[in-house]
Amino acid sequence: MVIKEATTIAEYAIRRWLLNQGFAMEHFKLSMDGDKGYLEDRNGDMLTLVYDGLTKSVYISEEICQPEGARKVNEERSTNGAS
């Protein structure tokens, strides 16, 4: 498993967690805001994932709102020609 697209440790850990859980990322949009990742499916349902730097683990948060400033990782990659 190679994760080349991550630009931060938090994003790398979240992407690795998603792959380990069996998510087919071509069907989801991932947005990042610091140590939080917002995963959205085609129905508009969202999961908030948090990278805990102290324990080096990722967990699902009860938070469901995506802040306006969250960096849309998948959309940036598609406009730059990367998949």
- What pLDDT is stored for residue 65 in this prediction? 65
**H helical segments located in 1-83:** 9-20, 73-79
Output the CA angle 35-39-43, nearest 5 degrees.
160
- What pLDDT is stored for residue 80 in this prediction? 46
- What pLDDT is stored for residue 77 in this prediction? 46
What are the structural domain ranges in the chain?
9-79
Residues of the chain with pLDDT > 70, as a percent, come to 73
Residue-wise pLDDT tens digits, 44-79: 999 999 999 999 999 999 876 656 656 666 554 444
